[in-house]
């Protein structure tokens, strides 16, 4: 199979979709790997390392896309890349289509076969390709939230860890999944007073057990979330509905009742966000204010720590990449239920139920396709 790895061009996205070790594994199996020159530099991987692993380096972006049977990326294609996609091509990357109608329509009109990292789901509900980036985004959420609370940044001037005789910062985390738990743990590690809201009793019990009760858990209701936000210095939104648009849990009215200078970090923004006032921002211009409250809504947070993120992500994706390359997408999806659940588009048809519901697009029968 001919596999191409383009340089990511999303704002301040420094990750790359494969490491030299991954290239070597593919080449050893007889596949041809082409990497765009400079694709790994943001992750401290020089072109020479890819060449030594057996990759072909190129500066011809159009050629790289046109010749590929499979495109490996980290983030979804942006508008400048839509015309580079061709019918029948396999695209393996994060997509987050429930909040992105233009890309969804482009994939369908270009008749691209796409498999989304974030909807590859194991039989027990695990999300193996989303988990490493959720872990990193959660940890970053606490860090950037603490930074935005600094007075020179426009925050309230509250230190999350407090000081002797001074209260600690109040942190509310919405969602107790991988990202939410990591955000809560880092916040608690800074000395903050942390509460996690979730709707799963078993997940709340798990959080209580692994943190020895240091992090409080509460069942998520609109009434209790509103009261908690009113007292919070930092709210971190980490709600996830795999493949679907994120529900909005913090309304504009709730924001108006928060203390001036408080901060909201929306980790779920790439799926639409869980704050009513959220809209995607970039690392170049990461924040905006509403009613004196700072919103941080960067849609590719792990891109800020590309060395860590690239290796964490490719550790998870490589086994799937190898199977797709060796067997082809249809046989690989037929053999693996988790990979099949990630199948998003093929030959002009959408196959992810949550995306169809969010965008009002008819969804095809995935089981019939793979049969």
283 classed as catalytic: no
Provide DSSP, 54-110.
Answer: TPEEE--HHHHHHT-SEEE-SSPPPHHHHTT--TT-EEEE---GGG-HHHHHHHHHT
Cα–Cα distance, 91 to 350 (Å, whole number): 14
Annotated catalytic residue: which of 193, 233, 270, 338?
Answer: 270
Marked catalytic residue, from 96, 193, 266, 277: 96
The DSSP element (H or E) to which 309 belongs, if any, is helix 306-327
Respond yes or no: is residue 96 known to be catalytic.
yes
Q: Check: CB of residue 170 under 8 Å from CB of residue 190.
A: no
Q: Coil, strand, or helix at residue 296? A: strand
CB 360 within 8 A of CB 245: no
The DSSP-derived string for 162-207 is -BTTBPPPEEEEE--SHHHHHHHHHHHHTT-EEEEEES-HHHHHHH
Residue 231 parent element (H or E): helix 222-231
CA angle 129, 246, 70 (to 5 degrees): 35
**Catalytic sites, residue numbers:** 96, 270
């Amino acid at each position: 199979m001919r596999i191409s790895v383009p340089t990511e061009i999303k704002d301040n996205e420094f990750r790359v979709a494969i490491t030299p070790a991954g290239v070597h594994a593919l080449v050893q199996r007889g596949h041809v790997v082409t990497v765009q020159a400079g694709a790994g530099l943001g992750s401290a991987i020089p072109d020479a390392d890819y060449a030594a692993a057996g990759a072909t380096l190129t500066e011809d972006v159009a050629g790289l896309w046109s010749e590929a049977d499979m495109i490996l990326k980290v983030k979804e294609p942006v508008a400048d890349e839509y015309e580079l996609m061709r019918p029948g091509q396999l695209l393996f990357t994060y997509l987050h289509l429930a909040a992105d109608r233009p890309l969804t329509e482009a994939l369908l009109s270009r008749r691209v076969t796409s498999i989304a990292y974030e909807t590859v789901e194991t039989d027990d509900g695990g999300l193996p390709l989303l988990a490493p980036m959720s872990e990193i985004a959660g940890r970053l959420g606490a860090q950037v939230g603490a930074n935005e609370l600094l007075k020179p940044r426009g925050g309230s001037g509250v230190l999350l860890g407090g000081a002797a005789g001074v209260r600690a910062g109040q942190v509310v985390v919405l969602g107790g999944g991988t990202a939410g738990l990591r955000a809560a743990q880092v916040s608690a590690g800074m000395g903050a007073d942390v509460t996690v809201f979730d709707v799963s009793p078993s997940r709340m019990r798990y959080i209580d057990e692994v943190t020895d009760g240091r992090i409080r858990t509460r069942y998520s209701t609109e009434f209790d979330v509103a009261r908690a936000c009113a007292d919070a210095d930092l709210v971190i939104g980490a709600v996830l509905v795999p493949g679907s648009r994120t529900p909005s849990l913090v309304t504009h009215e709730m924001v108006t009742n928060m203390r001036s200078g408080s901060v909201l970090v929306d980790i779920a923004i790439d799926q639409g966000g869980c704050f009513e006032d959220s809209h995607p921002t970039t690392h170049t211009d990461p924040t905006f204010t509403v009613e004196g409250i700072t919103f941080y809504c960067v849609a590719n947070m792990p891109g800020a720590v590309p060395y860590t993120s690239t290796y964490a992500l490719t550790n998870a994706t490589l086994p799937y990449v190898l199977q797709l390359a060796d067997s082809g997408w249809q046989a690989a999806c037929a053999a693996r239920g988790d990979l099949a659940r990630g199948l998003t588009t093929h030959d002009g048809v959408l196959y992810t139920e949550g995306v169809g519901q969010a965008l009002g697009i008819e969804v095809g029968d995935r089981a019939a396709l793979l049969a």
